Amino acid sequence: MHSSHSQSNLWMRFVILLGVASVVVFAVYYVWMANAGAAQNERRALAEARTLSAEMDASWDYVNSIQERINYTNGVYDFKGVYCSVAGKSIAKRFTDSTEYSIRYVRENPRSGTDVPDAFELEALQAFGQGEREYYAMTEVDGKATFRYVSSLEAEHNCLECHGQPVGEKDVTGFKKEGMQLGDLAGAVSISLPMDAIEREEEQGFMATVVFFCALMVALTVVLGWGLNRWVTHPVISENEKLRREAESQSNFLTIVTHELKTPLSAILAFSDLLKKPERDAAQNIEIANEIEENANELLSMINNVLDTAKFEEGSMALHEDDVDVCDVVTVVRAAAAPIAKRTGVDFVAIVAPGVPIVRADREMLRRISMNLVGNALQHTESGDSVVLRMSYACGSLTIEVEDTGCGIEAERLPNIFERFSSGRDAARSGEGGTGLGLFIVRNYAEAVGGSVHVESEIGRGSVFSVLLPLRPVESEDDL
């Protein structure tokens, strides 16, 4: 429940953080697009205006190129009144009437009212007089944003027939010539592009970008959320939960250790106090001394378990191999366990199977494994029941087995009984003194030499603990 609540909080924070980041990114993007969009619209309008201007120039040049074909009939000159200026203006008018765009021709000294420039076009003509070839700007016409573009027209050979020398002479159209020379400014083509259509397209593009951005952020949220949950959140929460359980177990362990240490210490102090009284005989003193020794050994075993656990945690536990007679180990364990079994009314038996060889092993490791298993069994076996320690050897492995007819262990608790700090009746209290470290040490000793541990148990019928240790037998002189 705590883990689920923590995960929900992390998810909520992640979504809020990503939402805030998305809003900030989108706001920056919106400001950038607003500025970049205006510049982009102007570039697009300029490109379209240049294209239209080039198309008008092409129409103008084409009419110029076929003047003779137009004005000669059967080899006789017959002016038809169709020349570049008329054709260009007619095409411009038809284009203007059929579109939202406006195209017209202007000049500083117009021959007709249609050629009169407005203020913007007059500025463009003045700029052309200073060497510019085009003039454009974003303006406002009738309250609407409009891109204005003006491109210069230069006098060409065909233009001089109507606008060249001599000045004042009437041309074929009836207008007086201006005395232009080749390359002079003949006028300009003026194009007006309303920005409504371009801006609508930009808005549509922007909305499509917004939709894409939102879809991208949703996809990014899902992917990042999945990755965060799989590789960050879940491992962190699991680790935190593990640390929390471990801290709780350690706290319980300290409580248990404190309580368990008091028991043998109190007994030692009590029996020591009895020794001070002079009225007892020698037999009573020997019995008291035995009780003190038994409690001191129990206290020492508890302290050794704690120290061994610390060494295993640090990875500093070192094993010292020697030639070990398993029967000697069993004798030591029997001597330590028999008084406990006698006091509690438990029938304790230690058996070494025939043919068990002398092995290369750490003597203390074998004693600690055996004593922890036996001590665990004695703790969970009531008066009248039995505990059996068996040692056998087969296929290069020594098997240490402890069977009891005690209370047994629930099936759901079996996977955890070899964990450290597993203590108390509800967690299969293990080891000498009930510190919850006995079976943990058994497992670690076994794994240190490549061995394994196994347990079978049934409620009300007892348990069987088995430790398999791959130990090399010592070759006797007869085998050499």
Give the C-alpha separation, 475 to 360, whole Å: 10
Residue scoring higher pLDDT (205 or 427):
205
pLDDT band at 113 (very low <50, low <70, confident <90, very high): confident
Q: How confident is the model at residue 432 (pLDDT cuts 50, 70, 90)?
A: very low
Domain ranges of the chain: 2-202, 315-479
Is it the case that residue 425 has pLDDT exceeding 60?
no
Confidence bin at 466 (pLDDT 50/70/90): very high
- Pick 259 or 99 by higher pLDDT: 99
Superfamily (CATH H level) for 315-479: Histidine kinase-like ATPase, C-terminal domain (3.30.565.10)
- What is the distance between the alpha carbons of residues 390 and 388, in angstroms, rounded to a whole number? 6
The percentage of the chain sitting over the pLDDT mark of 70, rounded to a whole number, equals 89
Q: What's residue 122's pLDDT?
A: 93
Q: What is the DSSP annotation of 105-159?
A: EE-SS-SSGGG---HHHHHHHHHHHTT-SEEEEEEEETTEEEEEEEEEEE--HHH
Quote the percentage of the chain above a pLDDT of 90.
Answer: 33
Residues 360 and 323: their CA atoms lie apart, in Å, by 5
Average pLDDT, the chain: 83
The residue ranking higher by pLDDT, 50 or 1, is 50
* Tokens 């002398």 -> residue: 358
Against a cut of 0.75, is the pTM above it? no
Which tens digits make up the pLDDT trace of 277-316?
777 777 778 888 877 877 887 777 777 777 777 777 767 6
Q: How confident is the model at residue 424 (pLDDT cuts 50, 70, 90)?
A: very low
pLDDT tens by residue, 116-132: 999 999 999 999 989 89
**According to the model, what pLDDT value does residue 253 have?**
64
Task: Report the candidate in 109, 110, 62, 100 with the shortest Cα–Cα distance to residue 82.
Answer: 62
What's the pLDDT score for residue 257?
Answer: 67
For 362-388, what is each residue's pLDDT tens digit?
998 999 999 999 988 998 899 999 999
